[in-house]
Every structure is written in structure tokens, then in C-alpha cells.
Amino acid sequence: MDSLQHKIAERAYHHFLQRGAQHGNDRADWLTAEKEILAESKTAKPKTRKRTTTSKRTTGKSR
């Protein structure tokens, strides 16, 4: 299971438990969880990568 599906499954299970573990709403729990997780991922700040400086390459020729 990929990371996104795992997060959605955990959130859906959380909704299931909050409803008193009553069966029969698994699809609604999943869709609600999916909507929440995707909305959170869109509003999350993107990870920035550190830029490293590169040294200039020399050709070995002297002028």
C-alpha cells in the first residue's frame, strides 16, 4: 500500500471509530478521509531542496 492510501485508510478508520465503530459507512468514511488528506496535501508547503554551489570546472589549459 502506498503512503497516500495508507494515510487515507488511517483517517477513514479514525472516522469509523468516532462514529462508534458502526459498520455500513465504509465508503463515506473513505471518501471523507480522501478529501481531507488531499486537501491537506495541497495546502502543505512544498519541501524545498537546498541548492549547493558548484565549482567551475577547469579545462587544465592555462592562458
Q: At 8, which helix (H) or strand (E)?
A: helix 3-18
Region 21-33: what's the mean pLDDT? 96
- The radius of gyration of the chain from alpha carbons, rounded to an integer in Å, stands at 23
Per-residue model confidence as pLDDT tens digits over 44-62: 766 666 666 665 666 666 6
Per-residue model confidence as pLDDT tens digits over 1-14: 789 999 999 999 99
The strand ranges marked E within the chain are: none
Domains of the chain: which residue ranges? 3-43
pTM: 0.64
